[in-house]
Structure 1
Amino acid sequence: MFSLRGRTLLTLLLMTILTLLALIYHMLSTSPPISSTTHPNLHNRYPEFASLTNVPIHQKSHDSYMSLGSHQSSSSFKGHKIVHLDLKGAPPVLNYYRRLLKLFKTLGATGILLEYEDMFPYSDSLQNVSATNAYSPQDITKIQEIAFEYNLMVIPLIQTFGHLEFLLKLDSHKDLREVPRYPQVICPTNPQTLPLLYQMIDQIIHHHPNLKYLHIGADEVYHIGECSRCFEELSKRQWTKRQLFLSHIKKIVEYIKGSYPRIKVLMWDDEFRGISPSEIMETGLHKMVEPVVWKYTRNPAAALNQVWEGYSEIWKNVWVATAFKGATEPDRYWTDISHHLENHQRWLEIIDHYSDRITFKGVILTGWQRYDHFSILCELLASALPSLAVNLAVLQAKNANEFFGEIPRNVAQALQCEGTVSLTIPEPNYGWTKCRFPGVEVYSVILRLFGLHQDIQRMEEENTFKGWLKEYNIKHVFSNPSYVEQAVVELDRFKMELVYIEKEMKSAMEGIYDEHTFNEWIETFVVPLNDKVTRLWEAKEKILEKASWPRRPLKSEL
């Protein structure tokens, strides 16, 4: 009895000590950081939801960000919050826009950036530039009417230098390429270039009569001054390639400002980063455009620290571009919310640090659907709405220094979630399937596909698979039947799961995407996996049919 009581007392003593240690640790971990490299907890961004969790998503060091010192943001971003719709991939059907834009407004967006590319209904001599499933003029009008209903500003984006693949891929316009083999960049000195671009701009503006802003793209101009015509121009004028770039952009902007004085011009900033402030100011572009500074990494400051001093000399107003999807891997079909959350967190620190020198007019939350016109689909917009919701909430948070471990109540309400969803669980997250946002069915299918990928990966990591069902075994139909049976015991289930995924995605996409998007998504993400499983199933059948095997060495076909 005494020994039992002694053990009980000892246990109580140990529990008390551990509790005290936990309290001390908690007090230390929640005290103000003593170094700017400490990545603070997240939940205090939303003090009204502080009771939800005390679990931080990340604890990372950002050494490259130390130049910002310990400057901290303490208020929400007051500028525009524009949601980018990348329509060059998986364009939503018209009926989906009402549900989509209503949600954007509920989440705090103030506008949309429409990157039409070939989904715009060009006419006259440009008619064949549009995709065969492009929106109609009536569709464009309807989208704007819905946006107006929800008080969302509409900003069209038209590329005017690089990323003109949708135009330059065509036989009718291939002669306008800067480099004949590459359909990315238009030749700025070709006499047909400017009239064509002006015509495209005119048609875009004609179908958007209430425009305040027009975005002219102009990012990633990878080839410039390479064709014989441009090379001759550089030699004649004694220009650098930078000056050729500025000359072309100035002509585009002067045309817009001369023809449509009320419209303000936005453009991506990356080509400006290697040009001196004096060169930019000599062209007058500093008075005619508002740059959109973009970076989609977890730590944008690492790449942008050097630009702000120069930009503050040139521009009074700038915009920034974050990403809520489509900026991590070109073939990723699910959205890594933690990456995009950190991207927005770091951007808020940049904005707060430089706001005494530059006016940040707005944040464009980009949602890329393809990396360029030719690349495959990445994360679908419908399944990335949770990421958009979380990151719009970040921009409106009262305390921009700390993340949260679970979604705040207003996000849960906007997405019609049954309860809270943890942001500490890696994506894709089953918790989102308990919500009723317009696209949750698509998210659920993607979660199911992800689970199947994980199951197949685990099968391939088993020793029975690695040792007895490799290419050599399959090629020579030479393996141990008992190990082959063990290796692919779930192969039949995998085949059936792929059938269910295709069927469920077809149903999930109805009312959101057209049949072309469904077919492309299936061909991109389901068919290759089905081919792989089918090949393994056929190899397994051949091996199990064997009753005897040849003597070694096996015949080689090398």
Structure 2
Amino acid sequence: MPADCTSLLRGRGTSQPRLFFTLCFIFSVVIVVVIVTFLYYPPDGVSVSNGGHHSFDFEHHARRPGLRSELHGRSPSLHELDGGGGDDAVLLSSMVVDGNNHNDLDYKSGAVNFDGTQQEQHSETSPRLRHHHAHHNHGGKPAIITVEEVEQRPMLSNVIESRLLHFDLKGAPPKISYLKEVLKLAKRAGINGLLLEWEDTFPWSGSLSNLSMIEGGYTRDEVEELIDFAELVLDFEVIPLVQTFGHVEFVLKGAEFRHLREIDQDPQSFCPSKSETMKVVREMIDQTLELHKRSRFVHIGCDEVYNLRLCPICTAASEYKEDLFLNHVREVAKYVRRNGRIPIIWDDMLRIISVRRLNESGIGNLVEPMVWVYAEDVDRFVGWEAWEKYAEIFPTVWGAGAFKGAFGETLNIPPLSRHADNTDRWISVLTRESPKWKLGTAGLVLTGWMRYDHFAVLCELLPAGLPSLIYNSLQISIPASSTARIKNRVFMLPSQETDEFSSSSTTNKPNPSSSSEIPHDYNFISSSEKPSSSSSRHPPSSQPSPSHTHMSKRSPNYRRQIAHPRILMAKDRLARLSARSEISTGEIYDKFDHVAREFCQILNCPNYHTRLDHLLKGSDTELNFASRCNFSGVAFFRSLFRLKGLLHESNELLAKIEKKRGWVTPYNIRHNYSLPLRVDEVLAEVPRLKNQLQLVVKSIETSLKPIFRQEDVLEWIEQNVWDPWKALENLELAGNTLKARNVWPRRPIPIQWEMVQDLKLSRVDPDEL
């Protein structure tokens, strides 16, 4: 043994110990270098923070072969993010409302806490993940990211990030099974949110029980089924819409709340000066949120409040209508905020209010306005001064176009060309205006009205609007080019990479490693042209992810899973909208060609090589082409075009008989005075049209029964078919009466004295006749 270590290090003593200690020294240095390198320069796919625990790099993981998940509207499944192997801890975030402080929106992770500890996970995860969680779970309590740690940041994208569909259920509410089918198709077309307007189909209870329909509304179980499907299976952002000022006819039409009307003759709006009004509004919000437990936003309506400052109480309360409006909206918004939700309102009443009044009211700190314009020329209705005002007052705004229910109270088929023009214009407007907001714009809603108000007749039914819904959804989900830039508001969680990541995402400089920039020689093609093996890597968008399959909202550990903000930032913003679309080189990228391809795939249309936008700008403005497709409700859609032709033919025949032919006019019928030979000639087409209308309406009844209740089917038939059929029936009966006469009186024909009285004409002396 050497005498001491010093002698060994200086070369004295035996050579073998000297070599041993030299190797030990070199090994120690290497270990230190490796540790320092790992801490400051982590390898791809792993970042080290918060005490050295590993967090997941979604951008790197998404680039792994065969792993890119469809990210338009849902979180990737645990299996997808894990790549089918390995033991990476997957980080999924969920935004929940802290039960102790309803004003704080807290983020919680589904696997790894942001303080570095492991969170508890749902019991139905894979055995490998359960073992991983059990190993790292310290105490089992999930860490909470406080509201101070959550940020809202802008993201530049070439599509609108939040794309919502609106269901107006106050007219012909479809069965839940059909609504779910529509939602699955909408998701495939790029929709990732749902705005639900229940009105009198909601299962109101207690003091509000008389607001519900006597029969035909939804039960609590049905409401929960639809919400759970949208949120848990499709991962939609679901927003309830509760009218709290105007358009409350369903509340005020009865005797129970008649005293809350602004004017007694019109149940359109509440009187904001009566204290009981807020009591009713609060109860409506409470009952809505009882079923919409996970919603982050509540739309409180407040559009078209025509009756303002008309009752004596309101006249005495304020000199200005604007103050009455803002005071009521502020009270409702504060109540929604106290429940931990963000209130949204329609913007039309704000357009005429000055910046000074809006600032003094403090409304900008309470609500987010949703700007709605359904006409093709958006700028005509909301000019530059309105956008400047909103940018000064509000932190962000929403937009709202329409896929049906906007161009005629009695239409049966949406004029798709007009809706497409409106949507296209909205894309341009949001692209132009979004930089005005530090956080960007919040999103765009495609509204689908069933009635113009509670008392109006039905307009286009949902099956008739489905092709328009899919086409317009694709319009806002597929970018026009890689150079488009829309500033979108996103929720962010801070991390050590956040600033760098955000700045890299908001630059206009192309990123060679990201497919979010499409070169001009790229084109979208269907996976039907690809090897079938790729389909296994990309499950259909309508299929629930494994992380959602077994979750129950009643589970005490339930937390709503939404796409982590870093997924939103890292995702391919021009990626496929469904599992079947791939990017391939070889052709110039054409948005409308891709829209046509996706449209035909989603609605199962035959191969069609003409761009649909050319059809819409030509003779097929309602896209009759879609009647060749195969989707739920297509039989009704197909019948509508046949019915449209028959009604047009019937109206022309009726007008011709009454105005252009001289033998079966109302005058002839009143006096039973005509030539039988001519009557047969004039009415020859009436029996044929009657029979054809009966056949078509029978087909319509059969096609609508699986979608709507019988009462709703009959209501639509009465409003759209019965009157024209009755007109033909009455003509046929009148013709039979005219032909039955074979003796006629001498002229003059007796005067109709009722006409003289009605029109206040000079009375003629019968002796002078």
**Corresponding residue for residue 246 of structure 1:** 326
**Corresponding residue for residue 184 of structure 2:** 102
Change (3 A) 1:407 1:554: farther
Question: How do 1:341-360 residues align onto structure 2 when only pairs under 5 Å count?
Answer: 341-358=420-437, 359-360=440-441
1:81 aligns with 2:163: yes
Of 711, 717, 733, the residue aligned with 1:516 is 711
1:327 aligns with 2:426: no
Structure having the higher Rg = 2
1:143 aligns with 2:226: yes
CA RMSD of aligned residues (A): 2.1
**Corresponding residue for residue 296 of structure 1:** 374
After superposition, give the CA deviation of every residue in 1:131-170 in whole Å (9 maximum; x if it has no partner): 1222111111100121120122211000010000000001
CA distance in 2, matches of 1:460, 1:377: 24
Of 301, 304, 313, the residue aligned with 2:392 is 313
8 Å Cα contact 2:412-2:464 kept in structure 1: no
Higher mean Cα deviation, 349-358 or 132-141?
Answer: 349-358
Change (3 A) 1:406 1:550: farther
User: How far is 1:554 from its partner?
Assistant: 1.9
1:416 aligns with 2:604: yes
User: How far is 1:209 from its partner?
Assistant: 0.8
8 Å Cα contact 1:76-1:395 kept in structure 2: no
CA distance in 1, matches of 2:593, 2:644: 23
1:282 aligns with 2:355: no
Change (3 A) 1:299 1:173: same
Letter in 1 for 2:425: R
User: How far is 1:474 from its partner?
Assistant: 2.0
CA distance in 1, matches of 2:679, 2:622: 32
1:191 aligns with 2:275: yes
Letter in 1 for 2:606: E
Higher mean Cα deviation, 223-232 or 366-375?
Answer: 223-232
Change (3 A) 1:532 1:174: same
Give the SS at the match of 2:401: strand
User: How far is 1:409 from its partner?
Assistant: 0.7
Change (3 A) 1:276 1:539: same
Of 693, 707, 722, the residue aligned with 1:527 is 722
1:500 aligns with 2:695: yes
Question: How do 1:309-458 residues align onto structure 2 when only pairs under 5 Å count?
Answer: 309-358=388-437, 359-399=440-480, 408-420=596-608, 422-423=615-616, 424-458=618-652
Higher mean Cα deviation, 389-398 or 455-464?
Answer: 455-464
Question: How do 1:543-558 residues align onto structure 2 when only pairs under 5 Å count?
Answer: 543-557=738-752, 558=755
After superposition, give the CA deviation of every residue in 1:369-390 in whole Å (9 maximum; x if it has no partner): 0010001000001111011111
8 Å Cα contact 1:176-1:190 kept in structure 2: yes
After superposition, give the CA deviation of every residue in 1:258-291 in whole Å (9 maximum; x if it has no partner): 2x22x11111001101111221122221121110
User: How far is 1:553 from its partner?
Assistant: 2.7
Letter in 2 for 1:101: L
1:490 aligns with 2:685: yes
After superposition, give the CA deviation of every residue in 1:78-97 in whole Å (9 maximum; x if it has no partner): 22111110000010112212
1:91 aligns with 2:173: yes
User: How far is 1:403 from its partner?
Assistant: 8.9
CA distance in 1, matches of 2:728, 2:309: 49
Q: Calculate the TM-score normalised by the size of structure 2.
A: 0.60
User: How far is 1:465 from its partner?
Assistant: 6.6
8 Å Cα contact 2:479-2:591 kept in structure 1: no
CA distance in 2, matches of 1:152, 1:473: 62
8 Å Cα contact 2:636-2:700 kept in structure 1: yes
After superposition, give the CA deviation of every residue in 1:339-370 in whole Å (9 maximum; x if it has no partner): 11111122222112212213221111011100
CA distance in 1, matches of 2:170, 2:387: 31
Give the SS at the match of 1:114: strand
CA distance in 2, matches of 1:79, 1:347: 14
User: How far is 1:442 from its partner?
Assistant: 1.5
Higher mean Cα deviation, 158-167 or 489-498?
Answer: 489-498
- Unmatched tracts of structure 2, length 5 or more: 1-155, 485-589, 756-769
After superposition, give the CA deviation of every residue in 1:393-426 in whole Å (9 maximum; x if it has no partner): 2212322899959961101110111233632334
Change (3 A) 1:448 1:403: farther
Give the SS at the match of 2:442: strand
Of 277, 302, 312, the residue aligned with 1:218 is 302
After superposition, give the CA deviation of every residue in 1:1-52 in whole Å (9 maximum; x if it has no partner): xxxxxxxxxxxxxxxxxxxxxxxxxxxxxxxxxxxxxxxxxxxxxxxxxxxx
Change (3 A) 1:184 1:403: farther
CA distance in 2, matches of 1:483, 1:428: 39
Give the SS at the match of 2:398: strand
User: How far is 1:190 from its partner?
Assistant: 0.8
User: How far is 1:191 from its partner?
Assistant: 1.6
**Corresponding residue for residue 267 of structure 1:** 345
8 Å Cα contact 2:450-2:459 kept in structure 1: yes
CA distance in 1, matches of 2:672, 2:598: 59
Give the SS at the match of 1:388: helix
**Corresponding residue for residue 467 of structure 1:** 661
User: How far is 1:75 from its partner?
Assistant: 7.5
Q: What is the aligned length?
A: 479
- Unmatched tracts of structure 1, length 5 or more: 1-73
CA distance in 2, matches of 1:368, 1:199: 25
User: How far is 1:532 from its partner?
Assistant: 0.5
8 Å Cα contact 1:428-1:447 kept in structure 2: no
8 Å Cα contact 2:475-2:595 kept in structure 1: no
Letter in 2 for 1:303: F
**Corresponding residue for residue 478 of structure 1:** 673
Of 115, 119, 122, the residue aligned with 2:204 is 122
CA distance in 2, matches of 1:123, 1:538: 50
Letter in 2 for 1:299: D
**Corresponding residue for residue 134 of structure 1:** 217
Letter in 2 for 1:86: D
Give the SS at the match of 1:355: helix
Letter in 1 for 2:261: R
CA distance in 2, matches of 1:156, 1:129: 17
8 Å Cα contact 2:705-2:713 kept in structure 1: no
Greater percentage in helix: 1
CA distance in 2, matches of 1:458, 1:126: 48
Give the SS at the match of 1:409: helix
8 Å Cα contact 1:95-1:511 kept in structure 2: no
CA distance in 1, matches of 2:462, 2:427: 24
CA distance in 2, matches of 1:435, 1:159: 37
Q: Calculate the TM-score normalised by the size of structure 1.
A: 0.82
**Corresponding residue for residue 17 of structure 1:** none
CA distance in 2, matches of 1:406, 1:466: 50
Question: How do 1:152-171 residues align onto structure 2 when only pairs under 5 Å count?
Answer: 152-171=236-255
**Corresponding residue for residue 8 of structure 1:** none
